Structure 1
Amino acid sequence: MTDSTDAPLDEPIRYEDEEKFLVRGEHAIRQIMQSLIDKRALVSGCAMPRNHTFPTSLVEVLEDDDAILIDGSASETINRSIEEASHITCVSRLDRIHVQFRLQGLTRVMQGGQIAFRADLPESVLRLQRREFYRLQVPVTQPLECAIPQHHPDGETTYDRYRVLDISGGGLALAVQAENPLLRPYKEFPGCMLHLPDSGPLSLRLMVKSLHSQLNQNGTESWRAGCQFTDLPRGGDALLQRYIFRLERQRSARDRGAA
């Protein structure tokens, strides 16, 4: 089964916005699928229309059939969500390149005594190399918080603090304990405070781009808000890049130590 502790992947991208980066043709698509298997790449799946995300991986490209197998979950709740989905949007990375594809015709099967799902071979695969999509996980041992202001009718302003799950040069993802009416997609929040270590709070404007639930391995549900930076103060970009570079350097050191 897939380990849910791996670093979170990029948010799905609208295919129609990136048509020129689509890979078509059965041979090329089979090669990409096999590379994901060979590199043991983590795949983030999103079951539609319920919009439930889950970690998985590719198990096998079926040679005599236009199909692939993906790993099932230890959670029956997640497996039912996959089984009932109209389609699954899958996101992964290959050599730091964003890879995204859609799976349809999912059927539960048993593979080596484990639950897996057979799916039709994707008709196309999005391969996109763009720096702003490389989101880095914020270590739980070094928590990062972002405070979002709430303006009340009496003129008082209070701040709701959220844990940052991952961050990039273009935005961040926030952990939301339950669906929060404040964080609605495409709503903007000026005056947010990102509390970077070794510097004062960074004031910025955020736009919520997505808000969706995630099914965890134990069957519990959590919420994730993907946000875009829409305005940064002078020098803010450099502060962010310095922090991201340090996270990336620490992650690379951990990867070398585990190799």
Structure 2
Amino acid sequence: MQPFIADTDTENWHDFEVGSRREIIALLRAISDKKQDVRAAARDGAEVYTTAILDVDGDTDTVLIDRPLDPEHERRLLSGEVSFETSLDKIRIFFNADQLHATLHDGKPALKMTVPASLIRLQRREYYRMATPLTNPVRVSIPLPPELGDGVGVFPLADISVGGIAILDNQFALGDAIGHDYTECRIELPDLGNVTVGLQVRNMLDMTLLNNRPNRRLGCQFTDMGRGAAAAVQRYITKLERERNARINGIG
């Protein structure tokens, strides 16, 4: 069951998955200690309820959740799978429960669940995206497999982050490429030279431009990236941000 993440920029939610039980328990306890509000949605997703984590017990592998005041809300949360969303130090946290059960906490009604096997910690700061220039765009060269005609496809970038890039495929040369891996892709970074990376297509969006021409945006994750390439991408992002700030301040 995928967490209820409405934002279109979080399609790669599984890239932020935390699977360490010790870390999961520590994060849930921190959320409880800081008394963070937690949003809960039942399987039907019709309504979202605000609750809180009351206690996390690693010995019994349970998490206690505050019980909704409305009996109907409680009934819905007890009916099956539940998704939770909260935040910790401005980082969004998502986790699921296969089933909640009624229980008591300090003599008061509460709900309990098993410590989740994984959760999502959406650290956007590590994957900060910068839009690339529309004029004189940055381009990536992607070696095409035989089923796509061999050769090399050259595509303009829409944005870039240290985690990946978004490319525009207005000729639909890559087809339905979600999940496909491409090796030895070369990104031409202005003033910084070329970097070679592996790319995996993670999401796709068809759109119509203002001139009524169709286009396709492909979100790609870096899969094979050396330290030198990562450092060059980070320097380029810093350069773009500096240029943007200069324009905003009327300097550039």
Identify the residue that residue 194 of structure 1 maps to in structure 2.
187
* Displacement after TM superposition at 1:196 (Å): 1.1
Check 1:146–1:10 CA distance in 2 against 1; reply closer, same or farther (3 A cut). farther
Question: Is the 8 Å Cα contact of residues 10 and 133 (structure 1) preserved in structure 2?
Answer: no
* Displacement after TM superposition at 1:222 (Å): 1.7
* Displacement after TM superposition at 1:146 (Å): 0.1
Identify the residue that residue 244 of structure 2 maps to in structure 1.
251
SS at match of 2:172: coil
CA distance in structure 2 between the aligned counterparts of 1:15 and 1:144, rounded to whole angstroms: 26
CA distance in structure 1 between the aligned counterparts of 2:217 and 2:170, rounded to whole angstroms: 8
Percent identity over paired residues? 34
SS at match of 2:135: coil
Identify the residue that residue 11 of structure 1 maps to in structure 2.
9
Check 1:219–1:150 CA distance in 2 against 1; reply closer, same or farther (3 A cut). closer
Please identify the structure whose Cα radius of gyration is greater: 2
* Displacement after TM superposition at 1:128 (Å): 4.8
Identify the residue that residue 147 of structure 1 maps to in structure 2.
141
Structure 1-normalised TM-score? 0.49
* Displacement after TM superposition at 1:176 (Å): 1.0
Structure 2 unaligned segments of length 5 or more: list them: 1-6, 19-27, 32-36, 41-46, 51-89, 93-119
Check 1:23–1:222 CA distance in 2 against 1; reply closer, same or farther (3 A cut). farther
Which stretches of structure 1, 4 residues or longer, exceed 4 Å deviation after superposition?
14-23, 126-129, 217-220
Write the mapping of 1:206-245 to structure 2, written as runs, cut at 5 A: 206-217=199-210, 219-245=212-238
Check 1:182–1:250 CA distance in 2 against 1; reply closer, same or farther (3 A cut). same
* Displacement after TM superposition at 1:188 (Å): 0.5
Question: Is the 8 Å Cα contact of residues 11 and 203 (structure 2) preserved in structure 1?
Answer: no
SS at match of 2:9: coil
SS at match of 2:241: helix
Let me know the Cα RMSD of the aligned residues: 4.1
CA distance in structure 1 between the aligned counterparts of 2:12 and 2:190, rounded to whole angstroms: 33
Check 1:257–1:133 CA distance in 2 against 1; reply closer, same or farther (3 A cut). same
Check 1:167–1:181 CA distance in 2 against 1; reply closer, same or farther (3 A cut). closer
Higher relative contact order (CA 8 A, sep 6+): 1
Equivalent pairs, count:
157
* Displacement after TM superposition at 1:140 (Å): 1.6
